[in-house]
Amino acid sequence: MAISSAAPATARVKRPASAPDRGSKLFASWWWAIPALVVSILVHYVAVAVGGTFAFTNWKGIGAFQFVGFDNFAKIFSGDLGRGAILNTLFLAFGFLIGTNVFGLLLALALNRGVKLRYFLRVVIFMPTVLSPLAVSYIWRFIYQPQGPLNSFLGSVGLESWQRTWLADPVSSIWTILIVMVWQSTGLVMVIYLAGLAGVPQELEEAAAIDGANVFQRFRHVVFPLIRPSFVIASTLMLIQGLRVFDQVMALTGGGPFNATETLATQVYKQTFAYGQFGYGAALSLVLTVLIIVISLIQMGLTSGRERKS
Amino acid sequence: MFNRYTPATLVREVVLVLVTVVILFPFYLLVVMALKDTKESVVSSPVALPSSPTLENFATVLSGEGRNNVLSGLMNSVIITVGSVVMLIVFGSIAAYVISRRPGRLGGAAYVSFVVGIILPFQLAIIPVYVALRVLGLLGTHIGMIILYTGLLMPLTVFLYTGFARALPRDYEEAAAIDGASKISIFLRIVFPLLSPATGTVAILTGLIVWNDFFNALIFLSGSKSTTLPVMVYSFVGENVTAWNLVFTVVIISMIPILAFYLFAQKKFIQGFAGGMKG
Amino acid sequence: MEAGSAEAPVAVLAQQYSKENPDVTFDVEPVPNEQYGEVLRTQLQGGNAPDVFYVTGGQGNPHSALPLAEAGYLVDLSKTVAKDLYTDQSRFLGEFDGKIWTQPYDFVPVTNNYNLTVAKELGIDLPFKSVDDVLDACGVAQKAGKSLLRLAGSTVPNNGLTTLQLAATRVYSEDPDWNEKRLKGDVTFADTKGWTESLELIVKMYKEGCFQQGAEAGVIADNVPAIAAGTAVGGFAPGGQIGDLRRVNPDNEYVSTAFPGDKGEKYLFASPSNMLALNASSDKAKQKAGLAFLAWLAEPEHADALAEVSGNLSIRAGAGAELPDQYQFISDYFSDENYQPLGNLQWPSPEIYNTLGTGVQGLLTGQTDVESVLKAMDAAWDQAAG
């Protein structure tokens, strides 16, 4: 029974890749989707298009403006700050994607069954997720302070040479942001994987174990194919969230020291609102959008490509 | 065979508890600070235990008046979050279902339009949306915020639902159709319950985003009576002096409802997902 | 109307006004500082801004007066008492197109504030007469396990304000019209010796341990608690900071001083930069009520009361009047007229001040050098002006 219930599950996951069957059209009417389409088109497409027009102007965020063609875009790609922001954004996004998925999956596997305190630990590990990113950053600022707990801990275990001014160190500051991001979102990724693991029949794993498969083989060939939907969701969500990283950077380093942790999103914010260069900021945000679309397409291509192979 | 409690399981348990303690350390700072009086919170080290723990901060914060009334902020946050999540679930699940059951060019285009919507830079839309809400007379109201968040998060919702809906078997729908059930009752009675794991993910994810949103809440609710908790926290952050003990107290208060919701929901969603996969 | 924090000085006075005029009520709308400019601009463009709101003088900030006046959002105050509250030197802060658009409500000296109680305990003599005095005191404070000065090195405003105070005696005392010359292109940051000296002095003070450990990561919110608790003796801020220090730790005594020049030159920045403006799209009755409130606020008695709350100087006191106790060491700066409005208020874009602020952090971490910072400021200026 166990194995028979699992086999169709895998088959079903693959079904969308096959040709659609005609009968299914009967089940849904098109107009049901209209409210969702209308509200998202109005809020996203129409309003963003209106705002995006300013990318081709020299508008200062208030008052009159002129159209300046592609000047703002030329400025982005010619400046160091624009390039640095792109690199930092990519570093944080991929570090975040990898960090949350590795730790989230490990925790999910470890807490899936067996451990007595598992329900309690699942809640506790999820707790950082419910805090607002701004509150999280304030707490961590205390931890990273020059005389804060992190440096005192390093001192007490004899690692004085590791002590530094974490949030203003040109090299380590971007890592401090990454750690906070991963700390906050690992619990969420864990839950997504736990949900996936709950659908993996234990009997299937046991059968593989009897056949002599070790832990890694069992994960690779039995468990992972079954939790692929969780993997797709977790990786897509984390990638998009990582590429838009803003709150943590603003609250922890403000983009410093000396622009070392500036990201596209913080630059967009600073240019459009703080420096009164709305046109330039709008152009920057369009660049950010294109970057996210390209990376997401690559990511989707990779995940679906692997799906076909397996 | 995996259910026996072996020495290896014990090791795993101990390691996990240690990891959890490390993960929890920032919460220690949060709680310790919330238990200190104002002077001690300024003078003492953030790691030090309070010399005389006090719940006074909770009393101070909860008895605030006018715009500092945390209870009314809590109510506003709850109304706006629950309203937005319900709208997202109702309209998002049905749109995703349509997309999954009506493949082809039109469905594909609709799906892509939602996915791209996740990525579009909303910063650019702030002023146009602000003006639109004002013209409609919805600025600073709960309904206005619910519409805003519904639009803002609909693409993410549809994306999450569509993945699940596409994986759902059609056998039950076909059987029900043969029995003469109407389209809408097939969706409500059969499909929506099967989508419950996705509903759980959507509720937690979008609920968290709305609950913790500071930026839009600040811009769109400034000057109204509908201020939410994340904005209210800022009344304790001053230009030169910040009352961290009060800020962290509000942070703790705003954590409780959403943590309670997660506690209540976690088993259900995980079981629900398992049920969905086994059909 | 809006203000920066719940007990904003103007809000306190507004309450009093409501008591005297029961037909006028205020709905105070507090907005976090960092987002104030954005909220205000969105509200103005959405046609939903308050009737009376806070702005700052000149054009250096998102909530600066002049761009809002240029865009037509403000009520013309040329025929009101507002114009009498400016001096010839400071009129540019609220003047656009030959008209006055804003009313300043207090007078903000930018000062080097100290915890006098702690300074006395350490045997540090205030005010300092020369840079050598300052450096000596740095050593004294360090030996006692404290720092002489507190710097929020990760924030633009505190780095900027600190540099400007050093530049007051190194650039502006010698050349009060430096800003105008820069506008005309006669001078640049990079070729003005005083700017180089000011930045070099910050680096020197940092290396000699004048600032707290890890000053490059400091944040503004920690400055007042540290000075009030005495872990640092002083710091750079607007004079109103004294009020916050007293609120946090009323047991100590605090003073405002001006940072000395290399040869004991005396010069400081003080400006009527906190202002109120009226919303041009409010209905006429509310504009009239707003005008009446502004006129009331400008009466000497109320201006003095407001200054007492804000910790700054009364807009009516001006030069030569008797100053509150904490300003004892700088009263001669006012009587001798050795002051002018804060340097950056006349700079053509916020980006220049921002380049300075981030540049200072880069100097402390060794990521950049003095010449590059000044050249970047020149580049930002030329771009804004050209």
Instruction: Give the tens place of pLDDT for each residue, B88-140.
Output: 999 999 999 999 888 778 888 888 889 888 888 887 888 899 989 989 999 88
pLDDT beneath 70, residues of chain A? 1-26, 80-81, 303-310
Q: Is A170 in Cβ contact with C71 (below 8 Å)?
A: no
Nearest one of C147, C163, C160, C274 to C222, comparing CA atoms: C147
Please report the pLDDT score of residue C125 as a whole number.
92
Give the span between the Cα atoms of A270 and A257, in whole angstroms.
16
Co-location of B146 and B19 in the same domain: no
User: B150: domain CATH number?
Assistant: 1.10.3720.10
CA distance C51 to chain B (A): 12
Give the span between the Cα atoms of A231 and A101, in whole angstroms.
8
Secondary structure letter of residue C18 according to DSSP? H
CA distance B27 to chain A (A): 8
Please report the pLDDT score of residue A16 as a whole number.
41
Question: Cα angle vertex C231, ends C230, C234, to 5°?
Answer: 65
- The residue length of chain A stands at 310
Secondary structure letter of residue C211 according to DSSP? B
Please report the pLDDT score of residue C320 as a whole number.
56
Co-location of B185 and B59 in the same domain: no
Residues with Cβ within 8 Å of B109's Cβ and at least 6 positions away in sequence, in order, are none
Co-location of B25 and B88 in the same domain: no
Please report the pLDDT score of residue A305 as a whole number.
53
User: What's at C228, amino acid-wise?
Assistant: A
Which two structure tokens, joined as six digits, stand for A176?
A: 């401090």
Which domain, by its residues, includes B59? 1-64
The phi, psi pair for A23, rounded to 5°, reads: -60, -30
Q: Which residue has the tokens 């380049």?
A: C355
Co-location of B37 and B91 in the same domain: no
Looking at the structure of chain B, the number of domains it has is: 2
Question: Right CATH number for A55-309 from 3.40.50.1220, 2.170.190.11, 1.10.630.10, 1.10.3720.10?
Answer: 1.10.3720.10
Which two structure tokens, joined as six digits, stand for C336?
A: 């001798």
Please report the pLDDT score of residue A273 as a whole number.
77
ipTM value, please give it.
0.86
Residues of C in contact with B218 (CB under 8 A): 31-32, 35, 39
3-state SS assignment for residue B44: coil
Nearest one of A140, A123, A107 to A252, comparing CA atoms: A140
Confidence of residue B222 (pLDDT cuts 50, 70, 90): confident
Question: Cα angle vertex C316, ends C312, C318, to 5°?
Answer: 70
- Give the side-chain half-sphere CA count within 13 A for C207: 8
Residues of A in contact with B155 (CB under 8 A): 40, 44
Q: Is C154 in Cβ contact with A253 (below 8 Å)?
A: yes
Co-location of B3 and B74 in the same domain: no
CB atoms within 10 A of CB B61: 25
Superfamily assignment of C2-104+273-314 in CATH? Answer: Periplasmic binding protein-like II (3.40.190.10)
Mean of the per-residue pLDDT values of chain B:
84
Nearest CA in chain C to B65: C6
Sign of the CA dihedral with C222 first, then C227, C233, and C237 last: positive
Indicate where chain C has its CATH 3.40.190.10 domain(s): 2-104+273-314, 110-269+340-385
- Give the side-chain half-sphere CA count within 13 A for B50: 21
Nearest CA in chain B to C33: B239
Please report the pLDDT score of residue C19 as a whole number.
92
Question: A127-142 burial, b for 16+ CB within 10 Å, e for fewer?
Answer: bbbbbbbbbbbbbbbb
pLDDT in tens, C178-227: 999 999 999 999 999 999 999 999 999 999 999 999 999 998 888 998 99
Please, what's the largest Cα pairwise distance for chain B? Answer: 74
Please report the pLDDT score of residue C203 as a whole number.
97
Higher pLDDT, B163 or C75: C75
Radius of gyration of chain B (CA): 23
pLDDT, mean of each 10-residue run, chain C (386 residues): 52 91 86 84 89 89 88 94 89 93 93 95 92 94 95 92 95 93 95 96 96 92 90 93 88 94 89 93 93 94 88 75 83 88 89 93 95 95 82
User: What's at C221, amino acid-wise?
Assistant: A
Give the span between the Cα atoms of C134 and C350, in whole angstroms.
31
Q: Residue B9 CA to chain centroid, in angstroms? A: 33
Higher pLDDT, A182 or B230: A182
Q: Is B134 in Cβ contact with C29 (below 8 Å)?
A: no
Residues with Cβ within 8 Å of B236's Cβ and at least 6 positions away in sequence, in order, are B242, B243, B246, B247, B250
- Chain C, 224 to 253: residues with Cβ < 8 Å from chain A are none
Q: What is the CATH number of domain C110-269+340-385?
A: 3.40.190.10
Report the residue of A131, A143, A288, A291 to disrupt the B interface, i.e. the one with the largest count of B CBs within 10 Å: A131
CA distance A74 to chain C (A): 15
Which two structure tokens, joined as six digits, stand for A143?
A: 């931890």
Please report the pLDDT score of residue B77 as a whole number.
94
Please report the pLDDT score of residue C161 as a whole number.
94
Radius of gyration of chain A (CA): 24
CA distance C228 to chain B (A): 9
Window from A36-40, B189-193, B242-246, C184-188 with minimum mean pLDDT: B242-246
Sign of the CA dihedral with C314 first, then C317, C322, and C327 last: positive
Give the span between the Cα atoms of C69 and C94, in whole angstroms.
9
Strand order in the sheet with C103-104: C52-56, C274-278, C103-104
Q: Residue B227 CA to chain centroid, in angstroms? A: 17
C44 in reach of chain A (CB within 8 A) = yes
Please report the pLDDT score of residue C104 as a whole number.
94
3-state SS assignment for residue C254: strand
Q: Is B125 in Cβ contact with A47 (below 8 Å)?
A: yes
The phi, psi pair for B197, rounded to 5°, reads: -60, -40
CB C156 within 8 Å of CB C354: yes
Residues with Cβ within 8 Å of B106's Cβ and at least 6 positions away in sequence, in order, are A30
Co-location of B245 and B123 in the same domain: yes
Give the span between the Cα atoms of A304 and A294, in whole angstroms.
15
